[in-house]
Amino acid sequence: MKARTFLGFVAPSVLAMVVLIALPLAGVIYLSLYQSHVKTELIEVKTSVPVFGGLTQEKVDLVSRPVLDDSGRPVKVREFVGGRNLYQAAEIEQLGEIVSKPRTMVSLPEAIGSMYDDVTNLDFWSALEFTLLYTFGTTPFVLLIGFLLALGVNRATERAKGTLIFVTLLPMIVTPVVSSLSVYWLFIDNAVVATLLQELGFGRIYFLKDAWTIRLLILAYGVWFAAPFAFIILYAGLQGVPQESLEAARVDGASRWQAIRLVTLPHLAPLFAVITLIHLMDSYRVFEPILVFGSKVFASSLQYLTFVVLSYEDNVHKAAAYALLTVLGVVVLLVPVLVRTWKEQGELKP
């Protein structure tokens, strides 16, 4: 292939990666390394204070006010702070205080439990805790349910496959906010699920009252929303499973499960790795269900924490630090999977 033809194919992809990935990431890194504030100056303000006999006394106070530029806008000063924003965002100082806190009057399990409670009371570490819980709690179920759905639809009749595929993909078709709302509305007080359980004799259950029920609902939503993606990828992969190998396994007396374990699963292993990579990246950035459920007291996430800091604290530099920490977390999660996949692909080469 000529160099000009090769560049014609590659250039659009490289340009898209630079514009959509490299430049925003560079901007986030730049913002996280700086801190800005409005430049102020002290001015003398003279006021007349009444005293006895109708007399007044002049009082001079020093008052801080923003410095304005030629267009009348406040002048902002940008200061390079290095890793200070990351240090403060990750609450390293508070974490060190918690770790060094003496806990000699209690047993080791109690000390560990007390330390864990103190750490998860910090904003960043509380968000990180649930982010990791959501990521690792949903991934196995997404893979398992997606695989079982793919096997079931693959064994269905040709007439039923179209309908089954459409119904299975419905959670993935709607937007994350709408799908989160649909789950939320099912479990609010006096909604369908609570009313039905009460009619069946289980009493009144408030799903959005306790931390464990809210977390469980968000995890269930994550599995329900992501399983269709795993299903469609694995279903497409099942179409390429060599039928000769399956027939040979049956002739050799292998059961259905043995054929799946020895023939189907090895064939789908690269697809499982791809699904795992994509779901890890997506679930580590969980945001919509946290926002919709209004559960920041019981369940937060790094993405939601970035949103709160940017929207309510109006601190773009701290928000950039949280965003950069999120990116670093995704990289840490993906490295083991990528290394293992690389090794497996190398072992498959002749």
Q: Residue 170 sits in a domain of what CATH number?
A: 1.10.3720.10
Percent of the chain whose predicted confidence (pLDDT) is above 70: 95
The pLDDT mean for the chain works out to 85
Q: Do 180 and 102 belong to one domain?
A: no
A 10 A CB-CB count for 339 gives: 10
At residue 103, the 3 state secondary structure works out as coil
Q: What's the total number of domains in the chain?
A: 3
Q: How far apart are CA 161 and CA 155, in angstroms?
A: 9
pLDDT at residue 196, as a whole number: 87
pLDDT for residue 1 is more than 70: no
Whether residue 296 has pLDDT greater than 70: no
- Give mean pLDDT, residues 34-56: 75
**pLDDT at residue 48 above 80?**
no
Within this chain, do residues 188 and 301 fall inside the same structural domain, yes or no? yes
The mean pLDDT of 53-82, rounded to a whole number, is 78
Residues 299 and 215 in one domain: yes
- Same domain? For 168 and 305 the reply is yes
> Are residues 45 and 132 both part of a single domain?
no
Same domain? 283 vs 183: yes
d(CA 223, CA 279): 10
Asked if 176 contacts 229 with a C-beta cutoff of 8 angstroms, the reply is no
Q: Are residues 94 and 142 in the same domain?
A: no
**What is the value of pTM for the model shown?**
0.83
| Residue 247: predicted pLDDT | 80
C-beta of residue 305 within 8 angstroms of C-beta of residue 123: yes
- Give dist(CA 20, CA 13) in Å, integer: 10
For residue 135, being part of any structural domain is answered with yes
My answer on whether 74 and 92 are in the same domain is: no
pLDDT higher than 60, residue 146:
yes
Range of the domain at 93: 84-113
Q: Looking at residue 232, what is its pLDDT?
A: 93
- 16 domain residue, yes or no: no
User: What does the pLDDT look like over 176-231, one tens digit per residue?
Assistant: 888 888 888 888 877 888 888 888 888 778 888 888 888 999 999 999 999 999 99
